[in-house]
Amino acid sequence: MRIQTISSMIGTALLVAACQVPELEAERLATTEEALTSTDVDVAPECEGVIDFANQAAFEVLDLYLPSNTANGIIAARPFTTLESLSDVSGVGPFRLTQIHFGATLEGYVTPSCVGIYDELAVSADDETAMVDLVNGISDTELHDVLPYAWNGALNLLAARPFATAEDIAATSGIGAVSFRNIRNAATLTVPFEMLAGEVNDLHREARTLRHFDWWQELQAALWAYDLNGVTCFGVDPSYLPNGSTIRPNLATPAEVYAEVASTVSFANRFNELTVDPTIGLTNLDTQLQGKSFFGCYISYANDPWSGNNLAFFVDTQAGLSVLTE
């Protein structure tokens, strides 16, 4: 590796970034200023320059930030399309990924909108904000559903709230690559549907659709209502339910969940009052439902002698994707 003082290296790199980034590169940076990561990838759109840096930087540039053997290994293994493929290079672990992000920033491949690489994910500033809001705001029930294989990690997150950065979340004991990615996905992948759900809830007092909720509290509120007319559950511990409840053996499928949500949205929009196209949110939900199985319940209850409510909730058994309709 070249011997160079940190101050001179940073000064030189910043000068290059400020004065010598080609117009084409500046245009590329502008096009990656996305809102949120919308698919289950390991590099946020704002951070794609990290991969470009690994693919395009000359040895002399990589050698400024990495050991020479690691720089040579990266060059030999090009091209990369994911952070995972870059991590497969010998010597490229979490610390080296941090150095690569540092180099990509100083060389002008990414802007501060790519905040860093944590637990094998390149995280954007917008993703970080969404993740922090999610971890700080959701119920303990939902957080444990999002992290079904990181029970202690969820407990530690709850004990340490509030968080300010994605780095702090990743550094929490019990949070690893899988659980950190689950948090990112829960915070960002269903935003179009969440926008639709918000519109439905604002539009119609007789319809409710939620993406984030405490299913245990919803269940208890319905079971202890003025009048309970029927309970059918699947994948829920029967000891949580009153006598006479129907226990269905099969979990809910993506098609079943989608049909229930689409029906509720259609009911709310029966006078075509929604100000957003429901197709966008429903398509987003349908995409995220695929490949999953859901526990949940259908509950018919009344809060008084004059009303009736039909509540349904579904929770993904692997990563906590949850939906409620009423």
Quick check: 149 and 179 in contact, CB under 8 A? yes
> Considering the chain, what is the average pLDDT of its residues?
90
pTM across the whole model? 0.86
Alpha helix segments (H runs only) across 66-214: 68-77, 83-87, 94-106, 125-137, 140-146, 151-160, 166-170, 177-188, 191-203
Which amino acid belongs to residue 22? P
Selection from 210, 197, 296, 191 nearest residue 253 by Cα: 296
CA dist 316 and 294 (Å) reads 4
Share of the chain above pLDDT 90, in %: 83
> How confident is the model at residue 29, as a pLDDT?
37
* pLDDT tens per residue, range 166-211: 999 999 999 999 999 999 999 999 999 999 999 999 986 789 999 9
User: What number of other Cβ atoms are within 10 A of residue 120's Cβ?
Assistant: 20
Quick check: 110 and 46 in contact, CB under 8 A? yes
Quick check: 54 and 71 in contact, CB under 8 A? no
Q: Residue 277 pLDDT more than 70?
A: yes
Tokens of 280: 């966008």
CA dist 195 and 202 (Å) reads 11
DSSP string, 173-190: TT--HHHHHHHHHHHHTT
Most confident of 36-40, 198-202, 204-208, 280-284: 280-284
Selection from 274, 324, 319 nearest residue 134 by Cα: 319
Q: Residue 260 pLDDT more than 50?
A: yes
Query: Position of tokens 């993506």?
Result: 254
Please give the residue that has the higher pLDDT: either 13 or 121.
121
In the sheet with 322-325, reading across from the earlier edge strand, the strands are 209-210, 322-325, 309-316, 294-302, 227-234, 246-247
Adjacent-strand bridge partners of 314: 296, 323
> How confident is the model at residue 30, as a pLDDT?
38
DSSP 44: -
CA dist 111 and 60 (Å) reads 22
Tokens of 206: 């007789």
CA dist 222 and 301 (Å) reads 6
* pLDDT tens per residue, range 5-33: 333 444 444 333 333 333 334 433 333 34
> How confident is the model at residue 35, as a pLDDT?
60
Quick check: 120 and 177 in contact, CB under 8 A? yes
Mean pLDDT of 88-105: 97
Quick check: 121 and 181 in contact, CB under 8 A? yes
Query: Position of tokens 């995220």?
Result: 288
